[in-house]
Chains A and B, each alone.
Chain A
Amino acid sequence: MKKRAIITTLLFLFLIVSTYGQKGFTRGWTIDYSIGYGSYQLKDIKNLLDAMPNHYGLKATDWFPDHITHSVSLGYTTGQHHFGTGFSYLTTGGRLHRADYSGSMTVDMIMNGYRVGAFYRYYIDTGLPPFSFYLQMSPGALFSNLNMKEKLTIYAESQKNITELKGVGLYLEPTIGMKYRIDNWLHFSLGGGYEFDFLGKMKLSGQKTDIDSKWDGFRLYAGVILFYR
């Protein structure tokens, strides 16, 4: 219910802002890079970590925390409209660990997400140049990769085992943000949104599992936009 309310609000704001004049906006190609911070639901992945065999006295020392995101996009802007394609990189991880005088055992689970999608951004003239607001909707595909690295070291002997799960899902992320024009070719942007993930079942060696790779969560962005005319 909370997600639906947010989406409805963002669409409403987009329609209102779109009724304002379209003056003061330029036309050209853009390259955008943003660094961000995201929260990741990853419910099934966390459950998987919790359910790992624990007869070695393993203890979770890292549990898929919120972490930095990286995004780049290539777009075209004309007037108040800005659209294009984008790529985002999400990463987080967890660890089970146990160590004593005889050795150690580590289970690291590194979860990476690669989003490839489109975006549409609508700028709203605030009348306070060089600031402007925008509303954005970006759908796309999300490729997830869970890398599980188990390492057991007893005295001088060690043993490693790597397991990899992969999944492909869809995402939809409405975003709201603001842009600050530093120069005609360089803008600064700041935004926040929420990512909704769909599908995304992960596979192990080609065999489907019951584990969903859903990264649902808030996203914050800060980046620069380069314009080429």
Chain B
Amino acid sequence: MNKLNFILLVAILLFTACEYGPSGSNFLDLTPPEDQIPVEISLNDIDPSDTIYLYQPTSFSLRINSPNDLKQVVVVLDEEELINMWGNSIGFVFYPDQVEEGMHKLTIGAAFSSGTGSLAEMVGMEGYAGELSWNIRAIHNPQDRFKVDYRINEEGFLELFWDNAIPENFIESYTIHSGLTQESDITIYNATQKSFVDYGYVCGYAFYEVKTQLKDGMVFRETLSIDRPTPAVYFEDVDLNNLRVYWDKPFANGRFNIILDDKNIIASNLQDTTITIPQLWGKTRQFIVEVKPRIGEYDNFHNKKVTYGNFTQGIYLDIPNWPLYAYNGTDNIIYTSSYDDLVAFDATTLQKINSVPIKGNPWGLLYGGKIASAPHNSTVAAMTGEETWIFSDSRFVNPVIIKPLSGNIHTRLAALTSNDRFFVVQKESNSCHVFNSLTGEKIFQFPFTYPTIYDIPDHVSVSENGQYFCASSENGIEIFEIDGTATKLRYTDTRHYKGAIFLPSHPEQLLLRVGSHFELREIPDFNIVQTLEVAETGVSLCNIDPATMNLLYHQNDSLRVCRVNDMTKTIFTIRSDERDAKIFNNKLMTRGNGGIAFDMDPYVNNSGFN
């Protein structure tokens, strides 16, 4: 057994020791690489000290030069490897959305072979590497971040300003299109100039398109609409003689023309926003403020803005044109008309008291002509286009109707007297018709010699008590005394008369406009009581206020008021073109222009004529 064990042991040792061991060596004697090699990395020829702005898909071309073979190119953004390229196709496209907005570091790394052919080179553990970094700023949606806005600059002009996310050195130009304020587009080639002063804009609507043209051809467009109100016009009733017209300051500097009644330029090229002008009573004045660019060379059709404003000095009664007026001293009522309505106003407050329609077929009061009120009671008469209605008072009930007895604006006389008579003289008539104002019956009529051709002022007048009748004209005058139905000519001459009015409450006194004078004469002797020298022409007699005995007349450009017992002393003057205005209870009333009143009371002494 010892022999056997020995043999087995030997066999096992031989077995274990005899596994084949491959042999042989293949050693290549290669030259190790140099420590360094020159490497050139170029990215779109951008200097590494410059910042790359990534605002649109951008193609980058890499140029990498080295004496050794390029093995790999790696594009690393910050710490993240974005692109790994092999071979010669070394270019890539970078999209702004690939990276977060802001500053990043872009590194281009390149690996080169060692050129030795060693195992280490083959497994990538031997070679050369080079890298170069650029700062890259990602800008998302630069179009959306091109912002245009506007402001008023220190000089007061409109200034557009804008801002880009794109730096200025990438910008070729800016172009501003403003068809409403500029004749042609404006191109700014200075990229640092990020504003434009539009001297052509003052207010209103304007549309702008601003373009940013980048050097690479990309264009950003942004539109801007401005709609600032055209200035509104305001009025300040400074005093009797002065009216201040002012208007809002427009958004930007402008110049202003003030046009009155659509035709008269009363001020031009104003830079201030206020102007004080003389008052003019008796009409509603329309003011037009033309707003234009401060500098005239920027004027065009579109940037001229117009604003309107109306001003009426005094009190606007809001009644149609050509109202008629009569005053009742008993009730202190001013009667007038509004279309077909006979209307009563309180003569102190000018508040409407009552009205009654007097329709006719076809004319009615709308096309009627005269209103009269009695001096001794509340009676009022209205002459329509067909007939005459006489009411006992302002309740306007149970009228006495005289038909046919029409009146119109040409009717020379329509007067109620204290003896309950109604005197009427029609246009171009040389006959006075006298009616009973209580019954409407015609009492009688009488002729006179000198009918006037003028509607205004009054040339025909009857004294309040019905005793005297005067018919004056450009050819002469006749003064009759009436006793019942009999008339007696008390005075006549052939002077050229321009008006005649019996004084209220003073039936024996007659105010005449003749030659270059006002003459206050006593009837029946025609003695002169008082005279006032006025101009030969340009003077018109209006009326005498029954409540105050103030005389109203128009001279040149003004209405003037004086005491009828002292005509030399003018107590009130107001600038006006209304030659046929009336005065009742110190209220100036116009016949035309919608019924405009003016309360003189604050300006005059109310002491009446006795």
Closest residue of chain B to A72 (Cβ to Cβ) is B11
In angstroms, Cα B20 to Cα A109, docked, is 10
B32 within 8 A of A: yes
Closest residue of chain A to B125 (Cβ to Cβ) is A154
Interface residues of B in 19-74 (CB under 8 A from A): 19-30, 32
Interface size on A, residues (CB 8 A): 40
Q: Are A93 and B20 in contact, with the CB atoms below 8 A? A: yes
B30 CB contacts on chain A under 8 angstroms = 100-102
B159 within 8 A of A: no
Q: Are A67 and B15 in contact, with the CB atoms below 8 A? A: no
Q: Are B126 and A102 in contact, with the CB atoms below 8 A? A: yes
A7 within 8 A of B: no
Q: Are B7 and A99 in contact, with the CB atoms below 8 A? A: no
Q: Are B121 and A102 in contact, with the CB atoms below 8 A? A: yes
Q: Which of B20, B121, B122, B126 has the most CB of A within 10 A?
A: B20
In angstroms, Cα B24 to Cα A92, docked, is 14
Closest residue of chain B to A104 (Cβ to Cβ) is B119
B4 within 8 A of A: yes
Q: Are A226 and B15 in contact, with the CB atoms below 8 A? A: no
Chain A 83-95 per-residue mask, 1 if CB under 8 angstroms from chain B, else 0: 0000001011111
Closest residue of chain B to A106 (Cβ to Cβ) is B22
A50 within 8 A of B: no
B10 CB contacts on chain A under 8 angstroms = 33
Closest residue of chain A to B24 (Cβ to Cβ) is A61
Closest residue of chain A to B126 (Cβ to Cβ) is A102
Q: Are B120 and A61 in contact, with the CB atoms below 8 A? A: no
B22 CB contacts on chain A under 8 angstroms = 61-62, 93-95, 108-110
In angstroms, Cα B13 to Cα A72, docked, is 13
B3 within 8 A of A: yes
A-B contact number at CB 8 A: 104
The listed residue (B19, B24, B125, B126) touching A112 by CB distance below 8 A is: B19
The listed residue (A57, A70, A108) touching B28 by CB distance below 8 A is: A57
Q: Are B4 and A101 in contact, with the CB atoms below 8 A? A: no
The listed residue (B15, B28, B32, B126) touching A89 by CB distance below 8 A is: B15
Closest residue of chain A to B1 (Cβ to Cβ) is A228
Q: From residue A171, how far is it (CB to closest CB) to chain B in Å?
A: 18
Would A226 and B4 be within 8 Å (CB), given that A61-B25, A110-B22 are in contact? yes
A103 within 8 A of B: yes
The listed residue (B23, B32, B117, B122) touching A62 by CB distance below 8 A is: B23
Q: Are A102 and B119 in contact, with the CB atoms below 8 A? A: yes
B24 CB contacts on chain A under 8 angstroms = 60-62, 95, 97
In angstroms, Cα B24 to Cα A97, docked, is 7
A56 CB contacts on chain B under 8 angstroms = 119, 122-123
Q: Are A102 and B120 in contact, with the CB atoms below 8 A? A: yes
A72 CB contacts on chain B under 8 angstroms = 11
Would A33 and B11 be within 8 Å (CB), given that A99-B28, A102-B120, A110-B22 are in contact? yes
Q: From residue B373, how far is it (CB to closest CB) to chain A in Å?
A: 130
A46 within 8 A of B: no
Q: Are A58 and B26 in contact, with the CB atoms below 8 A? A: yes
A31 within 8 A of B: yes
Q: Are B15 and A70 in contact, with the CB atoms below 8 A? A: yes
Closest residue of chain A to B121 (Cβ to Cβ) is A102
Q: Are A100 and B20 in contact, with the CB atoms below 8 A? A: no
A23 within 8 A of B: no
A112 CB contacts on chain B under 8 angstroms = 19-20
B486 within 8 A of A: no
Chain B interface residues toward A at CB < 8 A:
3-4, 7, 10-11, 14-15, 18-30, 32, 116-123, 125-126
| Smallest CB-CB A-B distances: 6 pairs | A61-B24, A102-B120, A95-B22, A93-B22, A91-B20, A102-B118
Q: A70-B18, A94-B22, A105-B119 are in contact. List 5 more A-B contacts (CB 8 A).
A: A61-B26, A62-B22, A95-B23, A99-B25, A101-B118
